[in-house]
Structure 1
């Protein structure tokens, strides 16, 4: 089990689910997108339920080991859902912002008087 620390609070869930949340948050951040998630979790009182979190480009998540070993959290459907959402966002690939050419900033550059001697 792992604890996700987020926005001054935390939640505990399975290792696999935490890994899926972090992967999805990373991909959302790369896309500049946000999403709201409901994931199975365990409360500080040991009660299994659901937590809702909002993740996106400004999310600062941290995961750490948690001391719950016997929690009965069913995480398979939530992990599958997060992996599908992550895959649907596709890979992020670097691409030039402009076509190369004079004055474009790529291979020719924009002239700056203070740098041109």
Structure 2
């Protein structure tokens, strides 16, 4: 488990979730973009709630590993989505280039 320090508060979440959030934040920061991201976090009483983070170039997020913090909080689908979003920011794929038209290109 990791504790995310954000905006003066501490949020407990799973290792993979925290790593994916930080990677996406770094990618967004590099591109001078910001996004709102929701992740599951564990409250002090053990309940799991959703926390919203505004991440981007001005975000100051720190994650630290915790020991003896209870069972790992996991959300594989969220991690895959954040990883895909990160790849999309780092290596955007645009629409296909328009093929030239005209008889010299075999297109009328």
Smaller-chain TM-score bracket: 0.7 to 0.9
| TM superposition score normalised by structure 1 | 0.72
Aligned residues: 91
2:90 partner SS: coil
> Residue 105 of structure 2 aligns with which residue?
none
**Cα RMSD (Å) of the superposition?**
1.6
Moved over 4 A (4+): none
How far is 1:8 from its partner? 0.7
- Give the structure with higher Rg (CA): 1
1:32 partner SS: coil
Q: Contact 2:3 / 2:13 at 8 angstroms: preserved in 1?
A: yes
Structure 2, unmatched stretches of 5+, are 92-108
Deviation per CA, 1:24-73, whole angstroms, max 9, x where unpaired? 100000000000011111012211121111101000111112342325x3
Does 1 or 2 have the higher relative contact order (CA < 8 Å, sep 6+)?
A: 2
Q: Which structure has the highest helix share of the two?
A: 2
Q: Contact 2:5 / 2:63 at 8 angstroms: preserved in 1?
A: yes
